[in-house]
C-alpha cells in the first residue's frame, strides 16, 4: 500500500453508530486509533464495507482496554488483520 492509499483509508469514511452495522457480518478493520473523548478513552475503527466504502465506528469504552498499543500498531501496519 502506497502512502496516498494509506492516507485515503484514514481520512475517508463517515462516522456511524455501531448498531447500524449488520449483525454476524465481517467488516475488515483497516485502521485503529485510540482516542480520548468527553466520555473517556475509546477506540475508533475504520472499517471497510462491502461496497468498498470506509466507515468509522467508535467502540464502547469497555473495549478500549482490550487493545494493546502493540495490537493497534500490528493492525495499522498490516502485520495482523481482524474483521
In this predicted model, what pLDDT tens digit does every residue of 39-61 receive, in sequence order? 888 999 999 887 777 899 999 88
Q: Taking the model in full, what pTM does it have?
A: 0.80
Helix (H, G, I), strand (E, B) or coil at 7: helix
pLDDT at 9: 63
| 22-33 burial: b if 16+ Cβ within 10 Å, else e | eeeeebebbbbe
User: What residue numbers bound the domain in which 28 lies?
Assistant: 3-77
- Give the count of domains, the chain: 1
Distance CA 22, CA 72 (A): 24
Kindly indicate the confidence band of residue 66, based on its pLDDT and cuts at 50, 70 and 90. confident
Q: What tens digit of pLDDT does each residue of 10-26 get? A: 666 788 999 999 999 99
Could you please report the per-residue DSSP string of 10-77?
Answer: HH--EEE-GGGSPTT----EEEEEEEEETTEEEEEEEEE-TTS-EEEEEPPGGGGGG--HHHHHHHHH
Amino acid at each position: 500500500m502506497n502512502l496516498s492509499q494509506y492516507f485515503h483509508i484514514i481520512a475517508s469514511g463517515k462516522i456511524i453508530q455501531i448498531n447500524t452495522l449488520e449483525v454476524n457480518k465481517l467488516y475488515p478493520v483497516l485502521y485503529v486509533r485510540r482516542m480520548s473523548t468527553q466520555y473517556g478513552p475509546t477506540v475508533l475503527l475504520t472499517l471497510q464495507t462491502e461496497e468498498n466504502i470506509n466507515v468509522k465506528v467508535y467502540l464502547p469504552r469497555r473495549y478500549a482496554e482490550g487493545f494493546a498499543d502493540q495490537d493497534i500498531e500490528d493492525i495499522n501496519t498490516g502485520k495482523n488483520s481482524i474483521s
